[in-house]
Amino acid sequence: MSPAITLETHINDIVNVIKWEDASDVVLCGHSYGGFVISGVVERVPAAVRSLVFVDALVPRDGQNGLDVATPMGRDGLNQALKNGAISRPAPSAAVLNVNENDRAWVDGKMTPQPVRVSLDPIRLTGARERIARRAYVRSRNYADPTFDKYFEEAAAAGWRTYSVASGHDVMVDAPDRLTEILLDVA
């Protein structure tokens, strides 16, 4: 954990994997804050990306940062961390994310704090995301959040493929088979 970890750090991590692996026809999937990351990645390597899938994710516009568009819970955590001068905010519990009861202890054991700075740096977007023909938004039905509801509705209005899945926020944990079907469909 370091104050030097930024949104660019996460974008560069994924861009470098794509470049070093000579990946093409990538189905780029971002969950929650990961919507920022995949939006930045497609700006750097648009030719490598076949499809974009936002899974209960933030869909930023140019110049926005994570604090601008955070969910109510995310905003509270960020503001508390900033008030305390912390370099990270604590991870929410699996119960708060409405992960199924059988997997909650496992998920809690994998959760880590998130660096604050990743949510403070504005993202620079030039429209690469909109030039990807295959875009989808996956919304979990069992996790109430007006921010993700708004992005789901905007995606549907923009003609993206949209999917509603009976799961908590961590769709990949609660409904992995269904998410796999969706990723294959969007690919």
Render 108-128 in DSSP notation, one character per residue. HHH---EEGGGGTSPP---ST
Segments in the chain forming alpha helices (H): 7-20, 34-44, 66-69, 72-84, 104-110, 146-157, 171-174, 176-186
Question: Any idea which residue has 């998130």 for tokens?
Answer: 114
Non-local CB neighbours of 163 within 8 Å, separated by 6+ positions: 136, 137, 138, 139, 182
Catalytic residue among 32, 51, 140, 167: 32
Active site residue 32: yes
Residues 6 or more apart whose Cβ sits within 8 Å of residue 82: 116
The first and second tokens of residue 176, run together, are 């992995």
- Opening angle at CA 42, ends 52 and 175, nearest 5: 30
Q: Catalytic amino acids?
A: 32
